[in-house]
Structure 1
Amino acid sequence: MPIYAYQCSACGHEMEALQKMSDTPLTECPACNTASLTKRVTAAAFRLGGGGWYETDFKSGNKKNLAGNDTSSSVSKVD
């Protein structure tokens, strides 16, 4: 289940709630008891790293852009 962040527009109270995706969004603020809660946009709390993801498995040929395996360089070399 995802964790949703909420903020009250009336009193500024911030909270997080563990809810199903199918649950209706919360509206009542537990701090001031008004129907002023709104969902906040937050970043995902995980990162797909290492082998076995799109970057390593589904790209083909020269399209792979792996760390340390970069064949093109935007920095010019000085002799």
Structure 2
Amino acid sequence: MPTYSYRCTVCGHAFDIHQSFSESALTVCPECDGLLRKVFSTPAVTFKGAGFYRTDSASSSSK
């Protein structure tokens, strides 16, 4: 289940919550009943090095 970050536009309360893809986004702050917004950040996956392209991992005998 993915983790989503939310921040209230009224009081600034920020929190993370585990939600399935089928669940609706939260809209009400649990602290002050203000409007919540999703906080977007960069993904945690980073691809570095060789082997991520078809030509990197193919051997010369399989061509």
TM-score, normalised with respect to structure 1: 0.58
Matches within 5 A, 1:1-79: 1-34=1-34, 36-48=35-47, 55-56=50-51, 58-60=53-55, 64=56
Structure richer in strand, relative to its length: 2
Percent identity of the aligned residues?
A: 34
Provide structure 2 residue ranges, at least 5 long, that are not aligned to the other structure. 57-63
TM-score, normalised with respect to structure 2: 0.71
| C-alpha RMSD over aligned residues | 2.0
Task: Could you list the structure 1 runs, at least 4 aligned residues long, displaced by more than 3 angstroms after superposition.
Answer: 46-50
How far apart are 1:49 and its partner, in Å? 5.5
Greater RCO (CA < 8 Å, at least 6 residues apart): 2
- Distance in 2 (CA, whole Å) between partners of 1:57 and 1:47 is 11
